[in-house]
């Protein structure tokens, strides 16, 4: 049996996630922290590094946000 994790009444889980990110961005903005979507940060250990796009982030002040919504 395949389980359906689609949220009832939602267009898609990605759509729900974007709404949650928008709410987080709004809360941070109200606190004076401006962040951008898909913020790129170089991550890794030693010489093995690559760019990772975090859901929200800023270089100044340095902030990264990875949004997860659990019901």
Residue 70 in domain: no
39 contacts: CB under 8 Å, gap ≥ 6: 53, 54, 55, 56, 57, 58, 64
55 part of a folded domain: yes
* pLDDT bracket for residue 68 (50, 70, 90): confident
* Overall number of domains in the chain: 1
In a domain, 6, yes or no: no
Identify the domain containing residue 58 by its residue range.
13-65
Among the listed residues 38, 42, 39, the one whose alpha carbon sits nearest the alpha carbon of residue 18:
38
User: What confidence tens digit (pLDDT) does each residue in 13-37 have?
Assistant: 665 678 889 999 999 999 999 999 9
pTM confidence score: 0.71
Cβ contact 55:25 at 8 Å: no
CA torsion 67→51→58→15, rounded to 10°? -30
Given the structure tokens 């709004």, which residue do they identify? 26
């Amino acid at each position: 049996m395949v389980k359906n994790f689609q949220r009832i009444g939602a267009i898609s889980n990605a759509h729900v996630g974007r709404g949650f990110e928008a709410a987080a961005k709004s809360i941070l903005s109200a606190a004076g922290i401006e962040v951008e979507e898909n913020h790129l940060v170089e991550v890794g250990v030693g010489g093995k590094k690559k760019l990772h796009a975090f859901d929200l982030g800023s270089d100044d002040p340095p902030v990264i946000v990875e949004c997860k919504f659990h019901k």
